[in-house]
Amino acid sequence: MVATETPQGLTSFPVTKMCALLSVGIPIFASVAGVKHWFLLYIDPFISEYKQYYRFLTFQVAAVNETDVILLTLIWYYFRHLERLFGSRKYISLITLSWAYTSVAIIVAAWVFNLIPFFKWNRFTSGAIPIVMSLFHFYKEHTPQMYQFDVKLIKPLGARSKQLKWTFNDQFVINALVAILLLNQGLVSIATGFLSWMCGVFIERGLFPGFDMFRVPFFKQSSQSASTGIMASESHSSTPDLDGAAVTPGPNNGDDEHGDEPGDEPARPLGVQFLNTFRM
Amino acid sequence: MEIDGNTVLLLFVFLFILYSNPSGDGVTSQYEYIQLQTLKAQYQDEFAQFGNLSHSSNFRNITGLKLSYGDVLRQPDINATYPIQGKDYDHWFTDQNYTLLPEAVSDQVNNEIWATKHNVFPPNVTSTLRGRVVNSHDGFLPMPMPIPEYYEPAQDLIQNRPSLSEPYVADPGDYTGSHNITFDEGEIVMEIISTDSTSSPLEPEKRFHNSQSDKWRFLHLEIHLSDLAENQKHSISTKAIYDIRNGRILAVSESAKFHSLFALPHYMNLKEEDETIYNEVKTLVEEYWNATDFFNTRTMAYLQNSYAAANSRCEFLAFLQLEPWWGYSKEQIKTIDEELVWPLGRRANLSSLPPINVSSGLIYSPDCGVKLHMNNVSGLRHELQIKKMRNVLLLGALLLASQIYLLLRQMHHTNTPSMVNKISYWGLSLMNLVDGALAIIFFYMTSSFAALFQPLIVCSFACLILASVFEMRYMISVYASQANERNVSLFTLLRRSTDGDERTAPAVILDEASISSSLYRSYIFKTFFSMIVILSMTTWPRSLRVPVESFAVFVLNSYWVPQIVRNAIKGNEPRRGTTGNSSRRNQNKPPLLWSFVIGTSVIRFLPAAYAFSVPSNIFYHHQDRPFVALVALWLIFQMAVLYSQDVVGARWFLPNYTIPDGYGYHKAISAGELLEHGSSENYTIDCAICMTDVAVYVEDIPETHKVDQHEYMVTPCGHIFHTGCLENWLSYKLQCPVCRSPLPPL
């Protein structure tokens, strides 16, 4: 039985935490160090003239635009359900796969597109838009809609206009975030987003292999992970079955370890001690 | 508030004061108005004359250019009121009969300085160049260059009109006064400021379109001269023309006595190579004049500043020849320029870019008769210099981050009051002073280095977090744990006993909140005070600054000394001596982590080592390698003493007779004391912590002599507990659990 409440905070979502922190941290570092241009990809002049092929690897690493940074960070946060569902290792493997497949797909598509003499696809998006769009397919596939609500505007455009009705569901925030993200870099990001979303579909259907077999090596499972149970069950069954794998992580399974006495003063972590310093 | 007539009147007076300040051009009186109008009329007249000038005609009535060196040579007390009889106004030759330069100087400029032919030179030379100048003491005749009298401020309030009389009639005065350059050898700093936008402190920034930007650039050069001891300092603000094809720069200072803008075309064409040079430079000056609206934008501030500059400084003409950028094509230089301005990863190979190098240069002052030669004047392109500074700052931020990490580990290591008690407050406070002052200085610097705003703010933030959150938090807990020692003499502390020492024990030990507020107060005060001292130190003359700075660096690098003293006071036992009892050994572990000691020393030593020993450091700090070595040895010595205290005991360097015995918790009690505690029949006392019986050793009662004295502890205030109970308690608080009087630590 799946616990409906998502655990608080990001302590049990190490991969989500890493992605969200990196998608803020790398742009800040790039901005402070003055190396934002490492994360730009244009065919002319970077590839055709300067032969800087490393940019194929870096263009998804950081967004150079502040709004994109914020949007991507928020979207990573919303995607934490995926980490809970798949387990940290499978999730990071999926991210890696998406990164590889979307990069290849976009570059091949741009190359094919540029064979047409009249058009030119020169600019590429910056930031993890392709990865996020590929994961968005998985998010949509595996997140059930919990509720929906209507917004009705009665005669908003004068007396003779009809009543307007909009239906929203509980996912409208992430839908809106993704929509803004897609529009934010113009036509290129819409095309890139669509391509990447297709990549997500292909990865899930097995057309792009690796979703079931590929796992990132050297991944250390932290004991705090939300999905320890999942990892255990996954290692037992050779074909991971999502329904069977979604065992309750059990947020309250540590209560018989220390026998906390009710009157005992709880230990003050360092953070609390700092805050207490300023509480006068 | 009730509004009556008086209030309204007050309000009007207030508004009058508020709005009656000087208008845009800063004129506050009729006198000043006439002054400014005269200045503008003068400039307009001179510009009209400039328009009629050709490459073969002489200056006529232009301030500062009326006389030539030859005129003064012939008649040293010449009155230069225009027109001068017998002066040839219709021709122009570049000899001393026409120019301000003596023959020797102009020959030198033509044959030695401006000797390089056409070559490839960087069009954008924005940079700060540094080097040496040598005074040649040739004894040239100073030329009279009086300030027109309308520049002078009003003598009294009644005076309405400035004197418009010819200044040459008046006493010529001491033109080579105290402001003259008298040193033999000095340092020069030249800031070459941007080309196509014309900003200077006195004029609002404007962009002007330079139609010949591939050949000529208009520059501002700020030249700072000082002797090696920095006793004499001269700052000259000049306007300059840069000949990109030949790599020549002509800079001429501007003030009330020298309207040098109009001299640029003639002096740029000093070699008389070409009439087109004259015409092109003249076009450039006219474009500059029109774009800045030079005539209309003169303000009172400009007038006063140029009067002050004319009074306190000599006028200068500087002739510079840049070294060509051998082996670069024009396209490469264009790419380099674009990459510097807007980095994208073009193939510019910036790391091997040559510096802007003045291969030869000469500065001549007509009114002081001084000639200076430049040696080894060079500097990086401005953007490269900024990049270098940015990298150094990023490394600094990395150091700060590792210092924060080390401090957190150290705080985690000493998490009980008994352990914190062994840390020296003053050692931490020395580090805290440096970090706090650095935070403010970084923040202050953001205003003067706009291009480095982000790295500076990051460094400032890291320093602030380190100093005012982590270090302060640690200092508060150290201070709180040592609060009961505040008014105890050093000897008592060494003895760790309070026997026979009458003292007023503080009945109430301050709580952390009040300690923290008082520590924060002093922290903020100390930080700002040291910031002001440090910032003002940068302007002191070298003979004063260097010793003070060295002393301060040495003292600020002595942060382990207080810890050594503290260790000696607390008297840790040697590591070898402690055997057996693991809890005793735990009590005796050194208070500072070795990773913290070594890491902190390295982190704090590296910036000083960089500033004192890397020749091209970004602070332009002087080099003193022996001093760096001394500081390093001093730090190593401190760490060695700390280590020796850890190994052979904290008091090894104190002679034996100075070390009194410490307070012993384990001792026998007398029967009287037993009675005070309400003895039971089997000579036990209730332990107030665990509420069970403590068997005690009573001297007078032989039955109790089989009791081990190490099983219980007697506090100085006479309370008795189990050893385990009280040791546990002492790791939380150094207070008696019964009467709250302070207890000596274990």
DSSP string for residues in B528-545: HHHHHHHHHHTTS-HHHH
Measured N-to-C along each axis, helices B300-312 and B30-52 cross at an angle, to the nearest 10 degrees, of 80
Beta carbons of A280 and B513 less than 8 Å apart: yes
Report yes or no on B214 lying in a domain: yes
CA–CA gap between residue B316 and residue B362 (Å, rounded): 10
For A200-229, b/e burial (b = at least 16 CB within 10 A) is bebbbeeebeebeeeebeeeeeeeebbbbb
Are residues A277 and B343, on separate chains, in Cβ contact within 8 Å? no
Both B647 and B686 in one domain: the answer is no
Which of B346, B409, B472, B475 to substitute to test the interface with A, most A CBs within 10 Å? B346
**B362 shares its domain with B405:** no
Of A50, A274, A276, the CB nearest to B345: A50
Given this model, what pLDDT does residue B209 score? 74
Q: Where are the domains of chain A?
A: 14-153+166-205
Q: Which two tokens stand for residue B233?
A: 């300092």
Task: List, for residues B410-450, the tens digit of each pLDDT value.
Answer: 999 988 877 888 899 999 999 999 999 999 999 999 998 88
Which residue in the set A32, A46, A279 is minimally distant from B345, CB to CB? Answer: A46
pLDDT at A179 over 90: yes
In the structure, what pLDDT confidence band is assigned to residue A98 with cuts at 50, 70 and 90? very high
Chain A residues with CB-CB distance to B732 below 8 A:
none
A274 touches chain B (CB under 8 A): yes
Strands B127-135 and B185-193: antiparallel
Whether residue B143 is found in the same domain as residue B72: yes
Residues B626 and B724 in one domain: no
Of B390, B408, B476, the CB nearest to A34: B390
Cβ neighbourhood burial of B269 (10 Å; 0-12, 13-18, 19+): buried
Say if B91 falls within a structural domain. Answer: no
Residue B746: inside a domain: no
- Is a pLDDT exceeding 80 seen at residue A240? no
Q: Which residues of B are less than 8 Å from A48 in CB distance?
A: none
Residues of B in contact with A66 (CB under 8 A): none
User: pTM for the whole thing?
Assistant: 0.79
Closest CB from A32, A276, A279 relative to B394: A32
Higher pLDDT pick, A67 / B672: A67
Contact call for A52 and B412, based on CB within 8 A:
no
**Domains in chain B: how many in total?**
3
Point out the residues of chain B with pLDDT beneath 50.
169-172, 175-176, 198-202, 500-503, 507, 577-585
CB distance A108 to A38 below 8 Å: no
Given B314, B347, B380, the domain boundary residue is: B380
Judgement on whether residues B556 and B690 belong to the same structural domain of the protein: no
Write the CB contacts of B341 (distance below 8 Å, at least 6 apart in sequence).
B383
> What is the C-alpha to C-alpha distance for residues A174 and A180, in angstroms, rounded to an integer?
10
| Amino acid, res. A240 | P
> Where does the pLDDT of residue A159 fall: very low under 50, low under 70, confident under 90, or very high at 90 and above?
confident
Q: At B256, which helix (H) or strand (E)?
A: none
Burial class for B630, CB neighbours closer than 10 Å (0-12, 13-18, 19+): middle
Q: Do B473 and A274 touch (CB under 8 A)?
A: yes
Whether residues B527 and B621 fall in one domain: yes
Closest residue in B to A268 (Cα–Cα): B415
Rounded Cα gap, residues B729 and B418, in angstroms: 10
**Residue B343 forms contact with A (CB below 8 Å):** yes
Of A2-16, A187-201, B486-500, highest mean pLDDT: A187-201
Helices B330-341 and B382-413: crossing angle in degrees, nearest 10, is 40
What pLDDT is recorded for position A236?
41
Confidence (pLDDT) at A25: 95
Residue in A31, A32, A279 to test binding to B, most B beta-carbons within 10 Å: A32
B621/B530 same-domain check:
yes
Residue A241 in this model has a pLDDT that exceeds 70: no
Are B133 and B256 in a shared domain? yes
8 Å CB contact of A270 and B408:
yes
Parallel, antiparallel, or unpaired for β B317-322 and B684-686?
Answer: unpaired
Band (A257; pLDDT cuts 50, 70, 90): very low
Is residue A78 scored above 70 in pLDDT?
A: yes
Residue B739 in any domain: the answer is: no
B387 in reach of chain A (CB within 8 A)? yes
Task: Give the confidence band of A190 by pLDDT, cuts at 50, 70, 90.
Answer: very high
Domain of residue B214 covers 9-83+105-148+175-198+206-380
In terms of domains, do B408 and B485 share one? yes
Does residue B115 sit in the same domain as residue B188? yes
Domain co-membership, B328 together with B256? yes
Question: What distance in Å separates the CA atoms of residue B742 and residue B746, rounded to the nearest whole number?
Answer: 12
A51 inside 8 A of chain B by CB: no
pLDDT of residue A230: 44
Residue contact B412–A270, C-beta within 8 A = yes
Minimal CA–CA distance to A124: which of A178, A79, A61? A61
Q: Per residue in A230-239, pLDDT tens? A: 444 444 434 4
Instruction: Tell which CATH classification among 1.20.1540.10, 1.10.1370.30, 3.90.700.10, 2.60.40.10 matches the domain A14-153+166-205.
Output: 1.20.1540.10
**Does residue B412 belong to the interface with chain A, where contact is any CB pair within 8 Å?**
yes
Contact between residue A215 and residue A238 where contact means Cβ atoms under 8 Å apart = no
Neighbouring residues of B110: CB distance < 8 A, sequence distance ≥ 6: B94, B270, B271
B347 and B230 in a single domain? The answer is: yes
Instruction: Please report whether residue B397 resides in a domain.
Output: yes
Note whether B208 and B222 are within 8 A (CB). no
Q: Which two tokens stand for residue B370?
A: 């001084």
Give the three-class secondary structure for A153.
Answer: strand
A48, A277, A278: best to mutate for the B interface, most B CBs within 10 A: A277
Per the structure block, which two tokens stand in for A238?
Answer: 């050779």
HSE-up (13 A, CA, CB side) for residue A77:
14
Give domain status of residue B122, yes or no: yes
Per-residue confidence (pLDDT) for residue B578, from 0 to 100: 45
